[in-house]
Chains A and B, each alone.
Chain A
Amino acid sequence: MNPHLPEDDAPSLWRGQAVPPLQPLPPEQLAEQATKLQRSISRRNRRETVVAVLVAPVFLLYAWVFPHWLTKLGALLCVAGLGVLLWQLHRRASARPLPEALAGSLLGFHRSELARQRDALRAAWLWYVAPLVPGMTLFLCGRQIEIGVWQPGVFVFVALVTGGVVLLNLYAAHRLQRQIDKLDPLTREDNP
């Protein structure tokens, strides 16, 4: 065995490997794949709609059944909050990068993907959590008035879970930002 593989031999080793080259696929097959991909994205979006559509009637029923106006208002606000959440999900899902974006420089594409994920995480509290907070708060207040027992622990628990989710998302966004910060100097000539 050759005791030393010079690093310059690695490219010839790499290029000499027996891997069959890619062969072009017929355009019809590619068009069909593109349609399938689009369908699977639409299916995923529909699943989220179905979940919201199943949950919304439960809150509408609460608004009908429970007597106190705060509970009714809270339940209706929860339905409205679900609507906002769903709209945001669809808006963000449709903001997928165009296929041409894949032809951007590796650094640019990598950075934009990280930035997209970071922004989604930073804004998660606004579009996942915030729309449901007013409705849930009023609903819980109304229920406690109805049963005549004041249980602040419920609010503390909900606030802790909500705060925890928000903090975890912000921490993940911070970690992504650190990765972005490491990429930026790589485009500068003065900073190898």
Chain B
Amino acid sequence: MTVTTPQDQLYRQAIAAHGAELARCCHGYERDPALRQELQQELHLALWQSLAGFRGDCSLRTWVYRVAHNVGTRHVQQHAGKGQMLELDEIVELADERHDPGHTERRLDLQRVLALVHRLAPLDRELMLLYLEELDAASIADITGLSARNVATKIHRIKALLASQMNAMRSPR
């Protein structure tokens, strides 16, 4: 009979509660389906291994998000070189992506958001993904380690960037 350890129980609890967020997080870090599968395996393993050291100093959600984004960032750095990553200030100047008439409107919007996310440098990407998951500023500060004031400033820029990029992409040329 298999013995279930507290680590296994925490892992199951974490996946049951945050499986959907984790899947979207992987989507935000890797667009290639095969590599995304690899990233998901990495994440499962890292989460399970890390939970052996979980002492309840932070919430399980904070722990899960930190592990997921740190694994995602490490994955991006290991597979770097496929395209230049930009910071929030630089990406504002970016040229748009062309419309794909084969997609539905909402899916197109999502593709645009994803395209934007995939071009961001690590820390800005983490912030963007946490914002997209609708976490409040205090939780984002707790997960990222950024000061509350810096989180507020960055979120403000992210909102402005999303608005300008989405509108720019929709405007006919």
Residues of A at the B interface (CB closer than 8 Å) are: 1-8, 10-11, 13-15, 17, 19-25, 27-28, 30, 33-34, 37, 98-100, 102-110, 113, 183, 186-192
Q: What residue in chain A is nearest B158 (Cβ atoms)?
A: A7
Q: What residue in chain B is nearest A190 (Cβ atoms)?
A: B149
CB distance from A165 to the nearest CB of B (A): 21
Most chain B CB within a 10 A radius of its CB, from A2, A15, A21, A98: A21
Q: Could you tell me which residues of chain B, from 115 to 148, have a CB within 8 Å of some CB in chain A?
A: 122-123, 126, 131-134, 142-148
Most chain A CB within a 10 A radius of its CB, from B2, B148, B162: B162
11 CB-based A-B contacts, threshold 8 Å: A4-B170, A5-B163, A7-B158, A11-B132, A25-B48, A102-B66, A104-B145, A105-B144, A110-B123, A187-B146, A192-B150
Pairwise interchain contact A7-B148, C-beta atoms closer than 8 A = no
- Assuming the A-B contacts A14-B113, A33-B45, A189-B149, are A1 and B105 also in contact, with contact meaning beta carbons closer than 8 angstroms in the complex? yes
Bound Cα distance A1, B53 (Å): 49
- Assuming the A-B contacts A7-B166, A102-B70, A106-B144, are A13 and B49 also in contact, with contact meaning beta carbons closer than 8 angstroms in the complex? no
Pairwise interchain contact B163-A6, C-beta atoms closer than 8 A = yes
Pairwise interchain contact A103-B45, C-beta atoms closer than 8 A = no
Residues of B at the A interface (CB closer than 8 Å) are: 2, 4-5, 8, 11-12, 15-16, 19-20, 22-24, 26-27, 40-41, 43-46, 48-50, 52-54, 58, 63, 66-67, 69-71, 73-74, 77, 105-106, 109-110, 113, 122-123, 126, 131-134, 142-150, 152-153, 158-160, 162-163, 166-167, 170
Bound Cα distance A97, B70 (Å): 12
Cβ-closest 5 pairs across A and B: A105-B145, A100-B53, A21-B19, A99-B49, A107-B145
